[in-house]
A and B are shown apart, each in its own frame.
Chain A
Amino acid sequence: NAGVTQTPKFRILKIGQSMTLQCTQDMNHNYMYWYRQDPGMGLKLIYYSVGAGITDKGEVPNGYNVSRSTTEDFPLRLELAAPSQTSVYFCASSIFSGIRETQYFGPGTRLLVL
């Protein structure tokens, strides 16, 4: 049982490039989340999903897209990378009612946009 896995661990992007951050969980959790953590700050919710085929915006969704075609996978897409998207990205999952339940976090992806 690997829990929540994220790839890549670290990536450097040029302004305007695109990339997909991968997130997979093997706990059969319904809820999945994407957060970003800027230096010296707490986490902010980008997008979340309550199940396969259902996604919704969080606090800071602009510049990102997500999809949830399977229960296990919840990729985050950056279409036109900007320096403001330099951050550490965390994926998380939980069984029910997302926020009320314990969230299991992945190890994070550090993204640098130059």
Chain B
Amino acid sequence: AQTVTQSQPEMSVQEAETVTLSCTYDTSESDYYLFWYKQPPSRQMILVIRQEAYKQQNATENRFSVNFQKAAKSFSLKISDSQLGDAAMYFCAYSRDDKIIFGKGTRLHILP
């Protein structure tokens, strides 16, 4: 069965610094999708970035980028120039066919 593991329950970063959130997953499939979602205190889930497994190029969205290592089954999120508004829970998710599996999340604190 597929699993998604986020090994860092909480992290802190100084404002304007760079932080990397870790995610590993387990699958025997070769074609799948990976996501990072942000959940601020409002609890709404917001898509941050998406990666298709068949694409070797790492996805980027403004200050957010991923390091996708398919062989290692690793999908980390890098946030550059951290801002106070980045404070939230971040969830890594794996999807294939009609299934989506979320990790338990990493709570990110931004220190002013």
The stretch from A12-20, A60-68, A76-84, A105-113 touching chain B is: A105-113
Q: Which of A74-114 contact B (CB under 8 A)?
A: 88, 90, 92, 98-100, 102-103, 105-108, 110
Question: Is B70 positioned at the interface, with any CB of A under 8 Å from its CB?
Answer: no
Q: Which residues of A contact B43 (CB under 8 A)?
A: 88, 107-108, 110
Taking a contact as CB atoms closer than 8 A, the residue among B33, B44, B104 that contacts A99 in the complex is B33
Taking a contact as CB atoms closer than 8 A, the residue among B4, B42, B47 that contacts A42 in the complex is B4
Q: Is the CB of A100 within 8 A of B33?
A: yes
A109 to B22, CA, bound (A): 29
Q: Is the CB of A107 within 8 A of B91?
A: no
Closest to B52 in A: A100
Please, what's the 1-or-0 string for A35-69, where 1 marks a CB less than 8 Å from any CB in chain B?
00000111111001000000010110000000000
Q: Which residues of A contact B60 (CB under 8 A)?
A: none
**Can you list 20 A-B pairs, Cβ within 8 angstroms, ordered by A?**
A40-B104, A41-B104, A42-B103, A42-B104, A42-B105, A43-B93, A43-B102, A88-B43, A92-B45, A99-B97, A99-B98, A100-B33, A100-B95, A102-B47, A102-B50, A105-B46, A107-B42, A107-B44, A108-B43, A108-B44
Other 20 A-B pairs with CB < 8 A, given A42-B93, A45-B100, A107-B43: A40-B104, A42-B101, A42-B102, A42-B104, A43-B91, A43-B102, A48-B98, A56-B98, A58-B99, A88-B43, A90-B45, A99-B100, A100-B33, A100-B95, A102-B47, A106-B44, A107-B44, A108-B43, A108-B44, A110-B43
